[in-house]
Amino acid sequence: MITEPTSKYLSNTVQSIQPSGIRRFFDLASSMENVISLGVGEPDFVTPWNVIEASYHSLEQGYTAYTANAGLFELRKEISRYMKRRFGVSYSAEEEIVVTVGASQAIDIALRAVINPGEEVIVVEPSFVSYAPTVTLAGGVPVPVNTYSEDDFKLQPEQIEAAITDKTKVLMLCSPNNPTGTVLSKGDLERIAEVVEKHDLLVISDEIYAELTYDEPYTSFPAVKNMRDRTILISGFSKAFAMTGWRLGFACGPKPILQAMLKIHQYTMMCAPTMAQHAALEALVNGQKDVVKMKESYRQRRSLVIHALEEMGLSCHVPGGAFYVFPSIEKTGLSSEEFAEQLLMKEQVAVVPGSVFGESGEGHVRCSYATSVQKLEEAMRRIDRFLQTL
Amino acid sequence: MNSTERELLKLIEKNGRLETGTIAKLMGITEDETKQILDKLEKEKVILGYSAIIDWTKGTEEGAVTAMIDVKVTPKRGVGFDKVAERIYRFPEVKAVYLMSGVYDLSVSIEGKTMAEVGRFVSEKLSTIDSVISTTTHFILKKYKHDGLVFSDNDEDKRIVVSP
Ligand SMILES: Cc1ncc(COP(=O)(O)O)c(C=O)c1O
């Protein structure tokens, strides 16, 4: 991949990880014109205006300096209130919350704070593309556990037990899931919690899509009995508040772990961007109405897309959250890469091959419905036409 | 009004051209149900009509001039402002009439091809109504936002084509 002579300077760790399959597909898709993209993992809304204004005010008032390492105290207090109000979990703003540069950085420092070289982290696949590489970068060993469409891509507790070795330390959960949209119910989480407790695991629960669930009330993993003190909760503003470009997220968890994460954060990042923190504060205080509006619109589009896929005979479980559907393309006989590539070439519709999310993503493609109704309808017509040609 | 009806209204308020099939799929109901709800809401005059919001400055000159006219009137005994308002809203060039609180009584919005045409309407038709005491005409110089829609071009998708 990278040729001599400079590659000799690279660390073995970084050489051992592959570039993201999403990146490869991005390069291909962006070389083409008039693409309808169902390949985006982010909202199609612009950040609500009051939130944008809050960042202007922040700058106007001269907040152009660092904040506390853990983040603006007002923001942490508001995150604490928000977690209590929305999910019924209490965290101390002083010691148990760190504001980060996106949920992405929160995941990174969470792993680095807890992993010793060679320790194993169970990653539920299909999974968000960054989990396994971040585990590797932290010196850990990612252990994939596959989930399947027959189970609606729900992790079965026995699967965790089967994957456990004496090196296993962490279970990474993501509900609602990217790319499958699967939401674990309270009952699912309680069954997982039993295994977690029995084997004394730590859980990193990525709940960045928690606000975007459509069918049942959401249960946050730390709200499950006995789980608060063995969970690092990861969340952020990217998805619910349409703030992907602001790079703002947070982690909550028991004090010793969060203080360890804070050490890494303080030496590597100092703090999250100040004007983005003021914007996020506004989002938490006054943003819930916008979240509800955007969510309503995602729910409608989910319904549109699922109908369309059903009509064209691509089977698809009904995803309970996030803004992805993950239909099976197995009956076409194509691999997910071939399917995505041919669809892009023939009909200029970009979807993401399921294989980039792990082995068990093969046979599926990820379609994001965070796109206008008109574009979705056109994309569905094109996919249908593409299927006819196979 | 129930929540299904409200959801449907919000959808068509944003886009009156949505086909019933699409509305049905978006809401997860059948096409028949969608038609029934639409019929009912039309009968009850909750839905008054379906119209497009057009930026006339882009194409033809038609309706290119819009004016808002503040009108002071003497209310007639027994009928109040309603009769005067009716005499005004019957004119086809009148797009909207509102009864206002404050220093004037009626706000009338009218559209014409030219300023002269609007001027003629005010001097010949509006101010000659006998209960009209005075009019103040404001021409709209530029429309930025109308009925919740922004009149500008730059709403293209700024996202990269594939992202995590
Ligand atoms: C499951 C999941 N976690 C984390 C992230 C990253 O979020 P952020 O933009 O806050 O870094 C994403 C983004 O796609 C995601 O899908």
Q: Of the candidates A265, A298, A358, A381, which has an alpha carbon nearest to the alpha carbon of residue A42?
A: A298
Q: How wide is the angle at C-alpha A90 spanned by C-alphas A135 and A242, nearest 5°?
A: 60
Give the C-alpha separation, A321 to A188, whole Å. 15
pLDDT, residue A1, reads 57
Residue A328 CB-half CA count within 13 A: 14
Top residue of B154, B162, B163 to mutate, by most chain A CBs within 10 Å, is: B162
Give the C-alpha separation, A127 to A174, whole Å. 8
The CATH number of the domain where A158 resides is what?
A: 3.40.640.10
- What the block records as the tokens of A12 is 């073995």
| CA A127 to ligand 1: nearest atom | 1
Q: What is the pLDDT of residues A1-25, one digit of tens each?
A: 555 667 889 999 999 998 888 888 8
> Residue A307 above 90 pLDDT?
yes
Could you tell me if A159 and A258 lie in one domain?
A: yes
pLDDT, residue A8, reads 87
> By the 8 A CB rule, do A230 and A256 touch?
no
Domain B56-142: CATH class, spelled out: alpha beta
The mean pLDDT of chain A is: 96
Cβ-based neighbour number of residue B17 at 10 Å: 9
- Find, in chain A, the residue whose alpha carbon is nearest to that of B164: A41
> By the 8 A CB rule, do A265 and A102 touch?
no
Contact A40 B161 (CB under 8 A): yes
What would the mean pLDDT of A266-295 be, rounded to a whole number? 97
Domain housing A315? 7-46+289-388
Could you tell me if A226 and A308 lie in one domain?
A: no
pLDDT, residue A4, reads 64
Provide the domain count of chain A. 2
pLDDT band at B156; cut points 50, 70, 90: confident
Between the alpha carbon of residue A204 and those of residues A115, A227, A325, the distances in Å are 12, 11, 24
Could you tell me if A91 and A177 lie in one domain?
A: yes
Could you tell me if A334 and A239 lie in one domain?
A: no
Q: How far is the CA of A308 from the centre of ligand 1 (A)?
A: 27
Could you tell me if A103 and A236 lie in one domain?
A: yes
Give the C-alpha separation, A72 to A284, whole Å. 13
Q: Is residue A1 part of a domain?
A: no
Could you tell me if A36 and A67 lie in one domain?
A: no
Query: What are the structural domain ranges in chain B?
Result: 3-44, 56-142
Q: Of the candidates A174, A200, A179, A117, which has an alpha carbon nearest to the alpha carbon of residue A328?
A: A179
Give the C-alpha separation, A105 to A251, whole Å. 9
Q: What is the pLDDT of residues A212-241, one digit of tens each?
A: 999 999 999 999 999 999 999 999 999 999
pLDDT, residue B76, reads 72
- The residue whose CB lies within 8 Å of the most ligand 1 atoms, and thus the one to mutate among A104, A131, A204, is A104
Q: Give the closest of A41, A129, A303 to B28, CB-based.
A: A303
Task: Give the residue carrying structure tokens 């390949």.
Answer: A39
Could you tell me if A58 and A78 lie in one domain?
A: yes
> By the 8 A CB rule, do A305 and A322 touch?
no
Q: Is residue A328 part of a domain?
A: yes
Could you tell me if A204 and A155 lie in one domain?
A: yes
Could you tell me if A60 and A41 lie in one domain?
A: no
Q: What is the pLDDT of residues A168-209, one digit of tens each?
A: 999 999 999 999 999 999 999 999 999 999 999 999 999 999
E strands within A238-314? 249-252
> Residue B61 above 70 pLDDT?
no
Q: What is the pLDDT of residues A337-346, one digit of tens each?
A: 999 999 999 9
Domain finish residue from A263, A287, A311: A287
Give the C-alpha separation, A48 to B115, whole Å. 38
ipTM computed for the complex:
0.86
pLDDT, residue A178, reads 98
Q: Do domains B3-44 and B56-142 have the same CATH topology?
A: no
Could you tell me if A15 and A62 lie in one domain?
A: no
Q: What is the pLDDT of residues B120-132, one digit of tens each?
A: 999 999 999 989 9
Cα-based torsion angle of the residue sequence B26, B31, B34, B35 in order, rounded to the nearest 10 degrees? 150
The CATH number of the domain where A306 resides is what?
A: 3.90.1150.10
Closest CA of chain A from B134, distance in Å: 40
Give the C-alpha separation, A250 to A353, whole Å. 29
Give the C-alpha separation, A310 to A160, whole Å. 32
Contact B15 A373 (CB under 8 A): yes
Q: Is residue A241 part of a domain?
A: yes
Top residue of A107, A307, A323, A357 to mutate, by most chain B CBs within 10 Å, is: A307
pLDDT, residue A376, reads 97
Give the C-alpha separation, A25 to A342, whole Å. 12
The mean pLDDT of chain B is: 91
Residues 6+ apart with CB under 8 A from A245: none
Q: What is the pLDDT of residues B87-129, one digit of tens each?
A: 999 999 999 999 999 999 999 999 988 999 999 999 999 999 9
pLDDT, residue B151, reads 83
Q: Is residue A161 part of a domain?
A: yes
Range B3-44 has CATH code 1.10.10:
yes
Q: What is the pLDDT of residues A70-128, one digit of tens each?
A: 999 999 999 999 999 999 999 999 999 999 999 999 999 999 999 999 999 999 999 99
Percentage helix, strand, coil, to 5, in chain B?
35, 25, 45
What would the mean pLDDT of B53-78 be, rounded to a whole number? 82
> Residue A244 above 60 pLDDT?
yes
Contact A301 B7 (CB under 8 A): no
| CA A248 to ligand 1: nearest atom | 10
Chain Cα centroid distance, residue B127: 23
- What the block records as the tokens of A359 is 């082995």
Could you tell me if A293 and A283 lie in one domain?
A: no
pLDDT band at B1; cut points 50, 70, 90: confident
Q: Of the candidates A348, A347, A333, which has an alpha carbon nearest to the alpha carbon of residue A386?
A: A347
Could you tell me if A231 and A159 lie in one domain?
A: yes
Q: Is residue A2 part of a domain?
A: no
**The pTM is what?**
0.93
Residues 6+ apart with CB under 8 A from B71: B88, B104, B105, B106, B107, B108, B126, B132, B134, B135
Q: Give the closest of A30, A128, A300 to B164, CB-based.
A: A128
